[in-house]
Amino acid sequence: MTKHVVAVAQQCPKTVFVLGGYSQGASVTDISIGIKTMLDHRALEPTVRSKAIQFCNFGDPVCANGFNAMAHMMYPMDGSVTKAAQQAAALVKSGMNSFRG
């Protein structure tokens, strides 16, 4: 993913990217753009904090250091996926002015 994003960004520098993932897919996305969030959802780096949307359910053992496996399994059913897609679409439609680096 990293190579593809870099190649597209080099060819079309004004391209706006929306990258996302759930569980391991989110980890791949984080790694590809240099964000470290695994097991510390509060620690989004300041350089990306204004450009990132993150969802972490209370008790999630992956991102909240919790012990409730169901909290991790609920994202597809609790509206998080829809909310993330709506927020991303709204930002793209608005021109992403506040998200451009």
Tens digits of residue pLDDT in 8-38: 999 999 888 888 888 888 888 878 877 765 5
Active site residue 41: no
How much is the pTM? 0.69
Active site residue 72: yes
99 closest CA partner among 37, 48, 30? 48
In the set 4, 30, 40, 72, the catalytic residue is: 72
Chain centre to alpha carbon of residue 11: 23
Distance CA 72, CA 64 (A): 9
For tokens 């992956």, the residue is 62
Percentage above 70 pLDDT, the chain: 83
